[in-house]
Amino acid sequence: MRILREVKLRKDRNKCPFGHLRRSKLEVTSVRALTVRKSMSRVTGLDCHVEQSSPRNDGNCFIINLQVSSTKTISDKELGEIKLTKYKAARYLRIRIEKPQSIKVSLPNYITYQEAINFVGEKKNWILQEYLKIETQKSQLKLINPEGVVGVPETTPDEVTHALETDFATKFRKLELIPCELGKPTYRLSTQKIKIYYPKTMQPKDKVVEEVIKEAIEDTLRKEAHSYLPRRIEELAKQHQLGFRRLFIRNTKTRWGSCSAENNINLCIHLMKLPDELIDYVLLHELAHTVEKNHSKNFWDLLSKFLGKDSKTVDKKLKAYRTDLVIA
């Protein structure tokens, strides 16, 4: 406690509308910066950052910025575990769902935990829908007939006739799992299939096999997207007399596509998991943004004209799909 007695709390506080302390500056004298940082972190439970100021007559002077990053975890019967974390740099409330029954919420320091919990409650239906989407994607990778394996040729694993089929498919290829006499999992892409080869001593749900499956699927989506999407968006742009500057294709995690103020269009490789109707919908959606930059009534009317059907109805269909990849 000797160190704490040498710490003088300044009245230099930035306050938020709710009156919570967002940041405190501590002036520390006559002690080493590293010792102060460790001691203050241990006693206060806060993350401390030390800045050395100009020397003073009464010894070395250090300024410690307390970076408040506290966490609270609660449980809900329907939503599962909810982890609430306050960040100094956070500007908004954000909900992140990584798996069913697990939610991470980041919030600014000036928002209370109860306000964040209320916000999660308001988004309950949306969260449950996201859980359902994750479970749906997991079911796509479950084996149809895992007992169907008989003999596996030792020298030609790519000629196996008893592969384990799955329900997962991209626009041009279907996923197959092939147990064989290899030392480690690998994959090959044919014109119609994504072939995953894995040792007979392993299972498709093993982590090392799942990683190869994910790598193979993302490789497939990337190749198909770069081959198909530029050609298709050019066709649609020409058909509706629309134009754009540049096209970028990326493995984005949250958006199917976007259109910048300069009419540059970004598309997600995971579009190649969607039905043709929804692929065209996303492409036309972004092309429509070259004319209407917002989601006003004019935008939806224009998009409906391009689609030849109600655009908001198609948009609801898209919400049943996710841009990320879930391996069961």
Query: What is the tens place of the pLDDT at every residue in 38-63?
Result: 444 444 444 444 444 444 444 444 44
55-59, 82-86, 225-229, 244-248: least confidently modelled range: 55-59
pTM: 0.56
Cα separation, 186 vs 284, in Å, equals 37
Cα separation, 192 vs 160, in Å, equals 15
**Most confident residue range from 90-94, 134-138, 315-319:** 315-319
Higher pLDDT, 40 or 134: 134
Higher pLDDT, 324 or 107: 107
Higher pLDDT, 134 or 64: 134
Cα separation, 11 vs 13, in Å, equals 6
57-71, 119-133, 157-171: least confidently modelled range: 57-71
Looking at the chain, the whole-number percentage of residues with pLDDT higher than 70 is: 70
Q: What is residue 138's predicted lDDT score, i.e. its pLDDT? A: 58
44-53, 159-168, 205-214: least confidently modelled range: 44-53
The two tokens of residue 105 are 């919420």
The two tokens of residue 138 are 């997991």
Looking at the chain, the whole-number percentage of residues with pLDDT higher than 90 is: 39
Element of type H or E holding 170:
none
Taken in order of first residue, the domains within the chain and their CATH numbers are 2-67 (no CATH), 71-137 (no CATH), 146-218 (no CATH), 221-318 (3.30.2010.10)
What is the per-residue pLDDT across 79-95, written as a single tens digit (0 to 9) for each?
889 999 998 888 888 89
Q: Which of 96, 91, 92, 25 is nearest to 62 (CA)?
A: 25
Residue 326 pLDDT grade (very low, low, confident, very high; cuts 50, 70, 90): low
Q: Which of 80, 86, 106 is nearest to 94 (CA)?
A: 106
DSSP string over 238-268: HHTT---S-EEEE--SS-SEEE-TT--EEEE
